[in-house]
Chain A
Amino acid sequence: MGELVSRLARVMLPGLALLIAAFLVLPALIVVPLSFSNQTYLSFPPPGWSLKWYEAMTTDLAWPQAAVNSFFIGVPTALLSSILGTMAALAVARGRIAWAATASAVIVAPMLLPHIIMAIGLYPVMLDLGLLRGYLGVIVSHTVVAMPLVFITVSASLRTYPETLEMAAMTCGASPWPTFRYVTLPMIRPGVMVGAVLAFATSFDELMLSLFLTGPGTRTLPRLIWEQMNMFLTPTIAAVATLIFAFSLLLLGLVALLQNRAGANPSFARE
């Protein structure tokens, strides 16, 4: 009986796993062909092919504008998140703070709480500060939810080598900044970079905060897609989605590359 079950499992499990993998990539397999459809309605598979939705996307100025906004918000978010996230990770990993676990929990919390809660809290705060509907307000808000990612990746990097390296630098007379610049940073650079890419990706994909905090001039790609989806479902969205998808794959490849390189680093992890 048990033998039969295990034999069945051995045959069926890989098949099941393949099926789930297919389920996971299904949306991409639908959106990409759809963007090349020659029809207005969303029939799948498309009866004929054309590039007209890509044309429609470039002639409607709202799309390029939203793409530019997404970068104007995503890149500063990545930078700010990297600085604050790295500082926090250094403090928690090297600072011997008594309440380090609590500090970690507080720093990671914004990533895990529903964004809607922060959105309706940040709206009046940004209104008071005069930052509503401007770039800065969204950048700051996205940093709140993106910083935890840098914190996590840099914390992981800091665990790969002992702090005696920094202590050695300092006992040899290096002051804090050169120690960071020439000892710490080279060691944690992959972690910082992966964190920065993840922070950018978070901002690039974020809808809820953008919905509340951007205006017509600063609205991001997810917000524009969202607005368009609620009005009319044309394959233009599929064309935009395909480009975003390709870009996301690029970012994913970048992260994989960085992590590979981090893995190849002379590591102190195995003692």
Chain B
Amino acid sequence: MTERASGEAWTMSRGYARLLALPLLFLAVFFAWPLLRVIVRGFVDPSPGLANYIRVFGDGPYLKVLWNTVETAAVVTVLCLAIAYPVAYVAARLRGAWLHLAAAAVLIPMWTSVVIRSYAWMVVFQRQGVLNDALLALGLTDTPIRFLPGSIAVHVGMVHIMLPFMILPLIANMRAIDRTLLSAAAILGANPAMAFLKVFLPLSLPGINAGVALVFMTSLGFFVTPALLGGPRHMLAAVLIEQQANQLLNWGMASALATTLLVLTLAIYVFYARITGGAAGAGAGR
């Protein structure tokens, strides 16, 4: 009887496995094939060779933009972690109405269009904007400060968009941490700071890893925020690629830049997939 059941299970799982064919075919045609074309195009357009890559990695504006992209992503990730960690620490302990309120504060911005949020930041940072009004009123400055276009606005806008993606994995992780361990540490003589450093922080590392990888990877591909708030002086890779392809019709260069960005992102994704054990479930939303 058991043998029969396992035989049944075998055919059943084989039937299920066949369901993968159609989604994989779809992804092969509309995901893998386009990516392959981008990669190939970087080497053959306008002429076969490494010309595009020599220009990307030669001393020109391109390498500077790529470096600026990595640096901005790193700064945004660190800022998000620094802000999200204490927030998650508090939020993970909430219950009832406060928990719902915290969830709303995190989820509502996540559900607000990225384009709209960048628009709001333009209103905040413009010359006669909310921020300048406040600074003038407080007497912190005599003349309005020019924030747009500028890197402060880009960083604030990006941190705002990425913050929920750092907070959510951290909360998920911290809610699973048994806080009686902290009491145990206290009973054994650790002061609260010590208990936090030696017990809580190490236990929250998986959440930190997931959040950092997710935020860093997503930050590398940002387009709307830097395009609207950064201007030409604070250009990021996605803005440059769009410009090369859509406006300058330099598709070879755009493809070489995109391939570089792809390799960078994939390296982080592989790392992320490894630390979260394959199934990426933390980043639902964007």
A binding-site residues for B, Cβ under 8 Å = 1-3, 5-6, 9, 13-14, 16-17, 20-21, 23-28, 30-31, 34, 41-44, 84-85, 87-88, 90-97, 100-125, 140-141, 143-144, 147, 149, 152-153, 155-156, 163, 166-167, 170-171, 176, 198, 201-202, 204-205, 207-208, 211-212, 222, 225-226, 229, 233, 237-238, 241, 244-245, 248-249, 251-252
Contact = CB atoms under 8 A, between A and B. Distances in A.
Interface string B163-202: 1100000000000000000000000000111100000000
Contacts of A237: 119
Contact of A112 (B130, B217, B258): B217
B87 interface: yes
Nearest to B9: A167
Given A24-B106, A125-B37, A84 B23 contact: yes
Contacts of B29: 125
Contacts of A112: 214, 217-218, 265, 269, 272, 280, 283
Contacts of A9: 192
Interface residues of B, number: 99
A88 B284 contact: no
Chain B contact residues: helix, strand, loop or mixed:
helix
B57 interface: no
Contacts of B17: 91, 95-97
Nearest to B213: A112
Which of A6, A41, A119, A248 has the most CB atoms of chain B within a 10 A radius of its CB?
A119
Given A198-B285, A202-B286, A118 B31 contact: yes
Binding site of A, secondary structure by majority: helix, strand, loop or mixed? helix
A120 B16 contact: no
B119 A238 contact: yes
Contacts of A5: 192-193
A116 B242 contact: yes
A87 B13 contact: no
Nearest to A23: B160
Interface string B105-141: 1111101111111011111101011100100000000
Interface string B253-283: 0110010011001100100110001111101
A95 B37 contact: no
Contacts of B128: 41, 43
A82 to B, nearest CB: 12
